[in-house]
Structure 1
């Protein structure tokens, strides 16, 4: 039997439903032509408030199968770093690699790496020559990925400028493993997987057994969306505070700028002038949130095709800042 409150809620919902449905239809009609023109795009989900206003997978494995999120993994590792700090496993962003995880520093490491801070690693400002791009193959084929990264020459002062390098995030992931006593997989599942109700399957490990910190994680588009909602809502999900709101705020403060896209970069997340918070992965994998517009977005794309800032990634940004941001 309905009481007065439940009857009122049901009546309000009945009146609201046509408006919600019209808004969803309008959003779909705005977005669909744009994604039809992007043959590299596999799947896209858009959530406004609590409502999924667009969810389609015109290509690829679909909305419920895990996709390689590539360098969006860097943003996930950054969230795990924030949790390790909140739990007291790491003293703070100014803690140095030499105090957090001295065991991972090789005897012949580049002078100064012990003094690199967690913030230097989070913001890709370690100053070390990168392991991405032309150095990537030699790095992942080496016998020790952490050692290889920490033996790169210093080409900038730590904390000075962004040098995009997956090796830097891999060192951070190894440091988190040592500091917490848990693998990145265990951390990801306990910090994000169980609280968000998402599955996080095992992914690539290096020759020493450290999970790849900065690449190769796999999530379904729906799982990616839940992380976007977490970022949008200040670390909350489903009414629960999953991550420290202070860490989320700190993550969204610009610390440096990408020399490639020109986007600002916080603690593992790209930041746009329009207000989007973005995790970006090779091929066009995107986890995006826009707190002011109450938006959360997940996009997966062909993981084997490039997505340069002046090419496909630029087209995805036009999609986010055009039909997604302005519709509804």
Structure 2
């Protein structure tokens, strides 16, 4: 695959990193400097996709019950909530961002910053009123991810990071990381994980390989398939679909022509330009990381603007 021209577009953006692998082989590598190659950095909401993987492993092990299980099994206080619909919220609803809580991540209600300023994040989320019946509308909600992190602690009997080390990080050879915690010591489910770009690439490769790594099935094919299956359509300004803490979309050279060829992909996305894209048809994984301030950020979607068009030429 000829990606020679990509450097001309990527270098001026001054990203922390841009990595592309095909069939497990690195075919493009850009770092701002040697330090960004070696140093861990926050992957922000890409943390959600890592949490999805951990929950999938827990389901495979039988540590966590089926995703159709109501979360009142873990938070029995919901059974006494004045709104009986809260008892209908399931693990699946949390993973697909459809629990129905009245929530505005940033702006408006500013729910996310408010949560992080409370002494108990889980209690804050559970106390939010419902604006929609569970399962009917996707509203981006890092609080839902924090509930899932707390549930994993309950079901596994160990901290989330410890569970990750044993069942995901160590098998992938991820030795250096950092993970923030809430006031109760629960690792943050929706953000707060720091990794190196090469370790993000390993995580993407694991999903490209349907959960298999070095002849060992870390996540069952069934769980990988179910977690990257479109669950609900995303409202504008976002596009595509949301799966189970993964995003899904397709690129076309002509969005106005329904018959034009498309390139389907799914991805983890973190604030400020952190991405892991998986393109199954081309056996491609890409990693993009950035640390610029908002006013200095490059185009919002570097993958669609610069990488996808080149991949389409090879498709």
Q: TM-score range by the shorter chain?
A: 0.7 to 0.9
Q: Pick from 99, 110, 118 the counterpart of residue 91 of structure 2.
A: 118
**Cα distance change of structure 1 residues 193 and 105 upon mapping to structure 2, 3 Å threshold:** farther
Q: Could you tell me which residue of structure 2 aligns to residue 7 of structure 1?
A: none
Cα distance change of structure 1 residues 238 and 168 upon mapping to structure 2, 3 Å threshold: same
Corresponding position of 2:307: 320
- C-alpha separation in 2, matches of 1:123 and 1:86: 19
Distance 2:167 2:187 in 1: 16
1:285 to 2:294 alignment? no
Pairwise CA distance, 1:202: 3.5
Q: List runs of 5+ in structure 1 lacking aligned partners.
A: 1-22
Distance 1:307 1:170 in 2: 30
Greater Cα radius of gyration, structure 1 or 2:
1
Cα distance in 2, alignment partners of residues 147 and 317 from structure 1:
39
1:90 matched to 2:58? The reply is no
Asked if the contact 1:233/1:291 (under 8 Å) is kept, the reply is no
1:225/1:58 Cα in 2 relative to 1: closer, same or farther (>3 Å)? same
Go from structure 1 to structure 2 and tell me whether the alpha carbon gap of 1:192 and 1:307 turns closer, same or farther (over 3 Å shift): farther
Q: Once the 2 structures are TM-superposed, how far is the Cα of residue 239 of structure 1 from its aligned partner?
A: 2.6
For 2:174, what is the secondary structure of its paired residue?
coil
Confirm whether residue 45 of structure 1 aligns to residue 34 of structure 2: no
Q: Determine whether 1:252 maps to 2:205.
A: no
Alignment of 1:166-185 (within 5 A): 166-185=142-161
Superposition pairs of residues 16-55 of structure 1, within 5 angstroms: 23=1, 26-27=2-3, 29-39=4-14, 41-55=15-29
* TM-score, normalization by structure 1: 0.84
- Provide the C-alpha distance between the structure 2 equivalents of 1:258 and 1:168, rounded to a whole number of angstroms: 17
1:159 pairs with 2:148: no
CA displacement 1:270-299 (0-9 Å, x = unmatched): 111222110000001001111110111111
Any conservation in 2 of the 1:131–1:167 contact (CA below 8 Å)? no
SS at match of 2:165: helix
Alignment correspondent of 1:205: 181
**Match of residue 239 from structure 1:** 215
Report whether the alignment pairs 1:228 with 2:204: yes
Distance 2:34 2:127 in 1: 39
The 3-state SS of whatever aligns with 1:86 is: helix
Find the counterpart in structure 1 of residue 253 from structure 2: none
- C-alpha contact 1:68 1:303 (8 A) present in aligned 2: no
Give the alignment's Cα RMSD to 1 decimal: 2.4
User: 178-187 or 50-59, which moves further after superposition?
Assistant: 50-59
